[in-house]
Structure 1
Amino acid sequence: MDNLSLSHNKFTTVGQIPENTTINFLDISFNKIRGAVPFPFVGSTLDYSNNKFSSIPPSSFLRQFKITYSINLAICGILDLSNNNLSGSIPPYLLKGCNDLKGTWPDDIDMSCYLKLVDLHGNQLEGPLPRSLVNCKELQDLDVGRNSFVDSFPTWLGNLSDFRLLVLRSNKFYGPLSIPLGKNHSTTSYFPSIQIIDLSANNFTGVIPSDLFDSFKFMVQGSNHTAWDGWYDNTLYAEAGRSSYQVAVEVAVKQQYIKMLEIFSNLVVIDLSNNGFSGPIPKTIGNVTALLVLNMSHNALTGGIPAELGRLARVRVAGPLMEPSQYLTGEIPPELVALTALDWLNLSYNDLSGSIPSSTQFSTFPSSSFQGGNHGLYGCPLPVRCNLTQPAPAPLQVPDEASASHRFELIVVWLLVGSGYGLGFAFAVVLHDMHVVCTGRQTQEKGT
């Protein structure tokens, strides 16, 4: 038997599964099954979510059946235990988030690991990330958001060639973002495939390295990527042509998070908000031309707005967190008129000066987008030295990849200040014609 689905029933127990049973896809989600998670079992995708499981068999239990956790890593590509009543420390095999797990993550993953996805989002795990996770050479997605991990930035994950999604949000990670240098001080092999990186709400400090963004090769060269106009490959298959399991990711929409199941191949995200980063915004941010979602708010960044931001032609909307800080100084670079996809911008509560650039986009923003501080700023839409009779220049052409052919509308970019800190940049995203849910599972329970 290849596939078995018993989901959305009222089962309360699971009988003993024969030792050598092999089913590629087993779904017993949305039942009322209690007790320990049923092992041993051999399968590619095991969906045990939305039940009332209370414990997970330890590795010693699995060894009784000649299935060690390391072998389990190799044969079980996906194990979803979300929305249960689990407690205790995490065994070293794949788990899905929202289990209320407590304890540490043992550093004993061996070379037989073939994991592609690890999602421990929304638990109570603590301590450092296991360095042995680098043994999972095929790892693509790691989400440990909303836990209590205490560690430095995991630079050691940067050598995984297929690694594309890293979510460390809302933990206790600390220190600078150190960039390991290779031959000739090159960072070309540092997270080359990363597409979504969320480091928000931690304790990172120091200056953002100027070569950080250049090292993200997919983000820099994304517009030339072969899959650029398609969907993000967020579906893991139990077997070619058979059952599949969809990977979800949470994206900031203004000041809220939504979980998206359909992720476009051109959804490129950097979120460094709510940390202690200081110093100027690196000019190299302008090299990340594939960027759609950027959030650098609530830090201690200082200096001017880099003119290089004008290269981010895919950016759609800029919006505020209306908090006074006045760390952003200097003039608004005229290069920003190249951001012809902008629908909304707010640069209020800074210390900007000079003329507001004249363009079709800038003329559509309300005066409140530039008020609050900014005493030396003038020009439309502010009443100071505003010449309404002056025609606005024609908008520049938007690249094809930012056109409506994508069947969704992006609202991206906030240029803002942070509460108690300084200048920040935050990009929000609004996606239409997409299936967006806020649960840990792509299938909602029937009758709810």
Structure 2
Amino acid sequence: MLFSLDASNNHLSGKIPRWIWKFPHLQVLDLSRNKFSGSLPLGFITSQIREVYLSRNLLGGTLTKGDGAHNDYSSYPLNVLDLSHNQIKGTIPRWISILPRLNYLLLNNNEFYGEIPIPFTLEQVKLIVISHNHFSGQLSSVLTSNISTVSYNGYITKDLELVTKTNLYTYKGKPLDSLSGFDFSNNNFSGEIPPQISYKDDMKFLNLSNNQLKGSIPPSFSRLLQIESLDLSHNNLSGTIPSELAALTFLGSFSVAYNNLSGKCPQAAQFATYGDDDYGGSFIDMESFYASSGVSFVMVLLIIASVLYINPYWRGVWFYLRQDHHH
């Protein structure tokens, strides 16, 4: 009986043959890093498969054809779905978000668009990477909280790649609890950052950069005590960086650049290690701003006074303009 099929890292091309999904006991399928093209066939998620790795191919088409109406995906055991780095288009199908054991979802670097039809449950999902697409809508509609959900406790048997600001992580054969995070960057999400993200206190990374998010940074992010990478750059966030974030002692990568933030940086050792690029174009110390503005104003007055005192011609022009203004 065939439980696992690994044909990754080859030069296989053409459409994925349908016979692959006819193995009745196939649980793990890895066809990543090939040159497969065309659309995925209907029924590529079977009632027994647990892990599907199809990343870094030339797959196109959509995932919504048929939309799984003929299958009861609420009973399917799929745990890992990696379709990243392809050319898949269209909206995200409803059946993806109702898979009861889906812990790892990678759809990044495709051509998806539109809103997420059903929110993902924070207690269930470990990893969602949907960056570099064209998703839109309120970020608060992407995630929900349901304490009754029980996640599948197993192991990652194949490679999962995750790129943060400073590192490339490859996870293989690791317990599911060793990796947790969300990457929604480089999309068109709007609205405020939902505070319920902080309920996921085992999160290792969070990337919301390059969207259209507004509002403030939730102080409840201080609950993310295991977080190592936090990127909120290139949005429309305002307000201050919450002082509560000083509690994030494992934070090794942090950026809020290119927002409309004000105030001072949290007084903590880890924040002292970040450079200007992490705050640039975004972070304004209002006290320094007012002070520098006052100094600049005084300097302009001094320069004008010096020019008028030294140069008789411009002094004459100045007095002429003043007289004309009064008349």
TM-score range, shorter chain: 0.7 to 0.9
Equivalent of 2:162 in 224, 229, 251: 251
Distance 2:284 2:136 in 1: 30
Pairing 1:340-355 to 2, within 5 Å after superposition: 340-355=249-264
Q: Report the Cα offset of residue 148 of structure 1.
A: 1.6
TM alignment of 1:273-312, pairs within 5 A: 273-312=185-224
What CA RMSD, in Å, does the superposition of the two structures yield over aligned residues? Answer: 3.6
Match of 1:157 among 96, 99, 102: 96
The letter for the 1-side match of 2:266 is: P
| TM-score, structure 1 as length reference | 0.55
Q: In 1, are the aligned partners of 2:133 and 2:187 still within 8 Å (CA)?
A: yes
> What corresponds to 1:331 in structure 2?
240
Residue in 1 aligned with 2:33?
Answer: 98
Partners of 1:149 and 1:276 in 2: how far apart? 18
Partner of residue 134, structure 2: 203
Counterpart of 2:25 (choices 72, 75, 84) is: 75
Q: Which residue does 1:375 correspond to in 2?
A: 284
User: Where does residue 225 of structure 2 map in the other structure?
Assistant: 313
Larger Rg over CA atoms: 2
The Cα of 1:54 is off from its aligned counterpart by 5.9
The Cα of 1:193 is off from its aligned counterpart by 2.5
The 1:366/1:177 distance shift into structure 2, 3 A limit, reads same
Aligned length, in residue pairs: 285
Cα pair 2:10 2:34 within 8 Å, conserved: no
Supply the distance in 2 between the matched residues of 1:195 and 1:370 (Cα, whole angstroms): 29
| Matched residue type, 2:48 | Y
Distance 1:146 1:216, change over 3 A: farther
Q: State TM-score, norm by structure 2.
A: 0.72
Residues 1:268 and 2:180 aligned together: yes
Task: Assess if the C-alpha contact under 8 Å between 2:207 and 2:231 holds in 1.
Answer: no
Q: Deviations over 1:365-410 (max 9, x none)?
A: 456644544334458xx9x89xxxxxxxxxxxxxxxxxxxxxxxxx
Report the residue type matching 1:160 in the other structure.
Answer: L
Structure 1 unaligned regions, length at least 5: 1-23, 25-42, 63-68, 81-95, 181-186, 235-245, 386-448
Distance 1:174 1:216 in 2: 29
Q: What residue in structure 1 maps to residue 109 of structure 2? A: 170
Contact 1:163–1:191, Cα closer than 8 Å, also in 2: no
How far 1:342 moved relative to its partner? Answer: 2.8
User: Is the 8 Å Cα contact of residues 134 and 157 (structure 1) preserved in structure 2?
Assistant: no
Is 1:233 matched with 2:145? no
- Contact 2:236 2:260 (8 Å CA) reproduced: yes
- Indicate yes or no: 2:26 matched with 1:128: no
Letter in 2 for 1:179: I
| Contact in 2 for aligned 1:158/1:191 (Cα 8 Å) | no
Per-residue deviation, residues 106-149 of structure 1 (Å, max 9, x unmatched): 22459x73111111111122222263476581211111111122
Distance 1:123 1:315, change over 3 A: same
Cα distance per residue 1:207-242 (max 9 Å; x no partner): 112571425877xx99xx9x7xxxx611xxxxxxxx
Query: Could you report, residue by residue, the CA deviation over 1:82-127 in whole angstroms, capped at 9, with x for unpaired residues?
Result: xxxxxxxxxxxxxx112211111222459x7311111111112222
Deviation at 1:249, TM superposition (A): 0.5
Higher relative contact order (CA 8 A, sep 6+): 1
- For 1:45, the equivalent position in structure 2 comes to 4
